[in-house]
Amino acid sequence: MRKVKNLIKYIATKVEKLSFLLEIERKLFGNHDEKLSKYLKMRFGFSLEALIATALIFGLPFGIISFLLLVKKNLLLATILSIIVFCIVFVLVKNSITSTYEFERSILASLAPLVFYEFSLNLEVGSVFEAIQNISRSKYPIISQNFKEILDKISLGQKPEKQLLHYASIQPSNDLRTALLTILNADKKATDIGKYFQEAENEYEKTNREIEVKILLTIIISTFLPLLLTMIYVFWDYPWLIFTVPLIQLLFHVFSSKGYRISVLEETIIAGNKLSELEECAELLEVYGKFLRLGYSPEKALTKTVEVVSEKTKEKLKRIIKRIRSDLVSLRVAWEDLVTGFRHPFAIISLKTVNKMVEKSSKDAGEKVFRIAAKLREKAMLERKRETLINAQRLKAKIITLASALLLGFVASLIPIIIYSSAFVFGKLSTPPVDNLSIAVPLLMAVIIMTFTNCKVTVDKNIKLQMIMAVLAFLFAYSINSLLQHLV
C-alpha cells in the first residue's frame, strides 16, 4: 500500500510540471479548495489539480478495461459498472493523499481547545517563548513536534510571536488557527478562556447537527443501495453479482465515514477521562485559591483545603500533606504527585500551572488559582452538555439503524415475489429462479456492515450488542413476512 501511495506521489509530482494536464483538469473540475491545495503543495510538492489529474490517469485505464470486458455481454451493464470502477479507483487515489490532510485537520481541531487552554494558562506565569516550550514538551500528536520546529527557528533569532503567527496561517484546521490567533491578539491578562470555550461549543453544536444529517443520509443510502443493486442484478440476469452488494456497501461506508472523524477523535481523546475529575479539580482549586487569597501560605492553605473539600479529594490531599510532613519533600514535589492522580487533560494542565504560580508568588497566586477553578467549572458544564449531545446522537443512530434493518429484512423477503410478479405482468420470466437465501445473505451482511460503521461513527462501545440487535431485527422482519406469504 505504501509503495502504491509513493507511486501516486511520484506521478503527481511529474504531472505538476505538465501545464496542459493541469489546464484540462481545471476545465473539467473548475475551482478547488484553496486550503487543501496549499496544504498539498507545502506538504507533498504538488497541487490539488495535479492530484486529481493523477487520479484520472489511474482511473481511466481501469474503467476502459472493465468496459471492454463486459461490453459483449451487456452494453448498459458494461457502461454502468465501468463508470463505477472508474469512480472507485479515482476516489481511492485521491483519498490516499487527501486523507492525510483530513486526518491531520481532525486531530488539530480536536486538540485546539486543549492547546488553547494550556497556552493561555502558561502565558499567565511566563512568556510566549515559555508557553511554546511547554507545548513542545507535551505529548500532543503533530502539534508538539511542530512547536519543537518553531523553537528551533526561535533559537536562530526569529521572534516567537512571528513564528506562531506564521504557524497559525498555514494550519489546515480552522479551530487551531482561531485558537492561536485569539491568543496572539489578546492581552496577556485579558485572554477570555470562557468566551473562547463558549464559541468553540457553539461551533461544535453546529458541526454536530451537520454530522447528524450526514449520518441520517448515510443510513438512508445504505438502506436502499443494497436493495437497488440486488434488484438490478436480478432483473438483468446477473444474480451471481449479488455477492458484490456487501462489498459495495463496505466501500460506501469507508468513503462516507471520513466526514465524521472530528466527532470520533473528539470522543477518543476524552475516552477514559472521568468528567467527575474535572469537577473535583475545580472544587480543589476553588477552595485552595480562596485560602491563598486570604493570605495563608501555600502549605497552610493546603491544610485548610483538606477540611473543606469532598472525601475523594480529601484523600488525595492527605497523601501529599503526609509526604510534606513525613518525607520532608517540598510542596512543589508533593504537588507533582497530586497531578499524577488525575487523568483528565484539563485537570492536569490546571494543576501543573497552579504549581508554577504558587512557586513564583503565593501571594499573587490566589486570585489566579480562583480564576482557573472558575474556568474549569465552565469547562465541566460544557462537557456535560456535549456528553448529552453525543448520547442523543448515538440514540438516534441506534433507532434509525434498527429501523433500516427491519426494512431490509422485510423487503428482502419480497424481492422474489416482485420478480415473479413482474414476470407475470410482462408475460415471461427473463430471469432464472433465484434462491431466497442468495438474496437474504448479502443483504444481511450489508446490515452488519451498516451497523458496525454506525457504531464506530457514534463511538458506541456496545458494538456486539447493536450488531446482534440489528441481525435479529432483520431476521424477525424477514421471517414474519415470509410466514405471512406462506399463509396467504
State which of 348, 380, 412 marks the end of a domain: 380
State which of 193, 219, 236 marks the end of a domain: 193
Say if residue 189's pLDDT is above 60. no
Q: How many folded domains does the chain comprise? A: 2
Q: Does 280 share its domain with 183?
A: no
pLDDT (0 to 100) of residue 261: 45
Say if residue 458's pLDDT is above 70. yes
Say if residue 272's pLDDT is above 60. no
- Which of 188-192, 210-214, 395-399 has the highest average model confidence (pLDDT)? 395-399
| 124 lies in some domain | yes
∠ CA 401-218-452, nearest 5°, is 50
Strand, helix or coil for residue 47: coil
| 154 lies in some domain | yes
Say if residue 263's pLDDT is above 50. no
| 350 lies in some domain | yes
> Which is it for the CA torsion 294, 298, 304, 309, positive or negative?
positive
Say if residue 237's pLDDT is above 70. no
pLDDT in tens, 287-313: 888 888 888 888 888 888 888 888 878
**Type of residue found at 467:** M
pLDDT in tens, 114-132: 888 888 888 877 788 888 8
Average pLDDT score, the chain: 78
Q: Does 280 share its domain with 376?
A: yes
Query: What mean pLDDT is predicted for residues 470-485?
Result: 85
| 93 lies in some domain | no
Q: How confident is the model at residue 201 (pLDDT cuts 50, 70, 90)?
A: low
pLDDT (0 to 100) of residue 93: 86
Task: Let me know: does 471 contact 441? Beta carbons within 8 Å.
Answer: no
Q: Does 189 share its domain with 281?
A: no
Query: What mean pLDDT is predicted for residues 469-477?
Result: 90
SS (HEC) of 149-195: HHHHHHHCCCCHHHHHHHHHHCCCCHHHHHHHHHHHHCCCCCCCHHH
| 159 lies in some domain | yes
Higher-pLDDT residue of 180, 417: 180
Show the domain range for 164.
110-193
Task: Let me know: does 342 contact 348? Beta carbons within 8 Å.
Answer: yes
pLDDT in tens, 1-34: 677 788 888 888 888 888 777 777 777 776 677 7
Could you tell me which residues come within 8 angstroms of residue 93 by beta carbon, excluding any fewer than 6 positions away?
8, 54, 55, 58, 59
Closest to 83 in 3D by CA, of 96, 99, 101, 71: 71
Radius of gyration (C-alpha) of the chain in whole angstroms = 29
Closest to 487 in 3D by CA, of 462, 479, 240: 479
State which of 165, 193, 221 marks the end of a domain: 193
Residue-by-residue DSSP string for 243-302: GHHHHHHHHHHHHHGGGGHHHHHHHHHHTT--HHHHHHHHHHHHHHHHHHHTT--HHHHH
| 182 lies in some domain | yes
pLDDT in tens, 421-446: 665 555 554 445 556 777 788 888 88
- Counting beta carbons within 10 angstroms of the beta carbon of residue 90, is it exposed (0 to 12), middle (13 to 18) or buried (19 or more)? buried
Query: What mean pLDDT is predicted for residues 82-89?
Result: 87
Say if residue 71's pLDDT is above 60. yes
| 120 lies in some domain | yes
Q: How confident is the model at residue 267 (pLDDT cuts 50, 70, 90)?
A: very low
Higher-pLDDT residue of 269, 402: 402
User: Percentage of residues in the chain with pLDDT exceeding 70?
Assistant: 81
Between CA 420 and CA 400 the distance in angstroms is 31
**Type of residue found at 334:** A
Q: Quote helix, strand, coil % in the chain, to nearest 5.
A: 85, 0, 15
Strand, helix or coil for residue 442: helix
| 118 lies in some domain | yes
Higher-pLDDT residue of 2, 259: 2
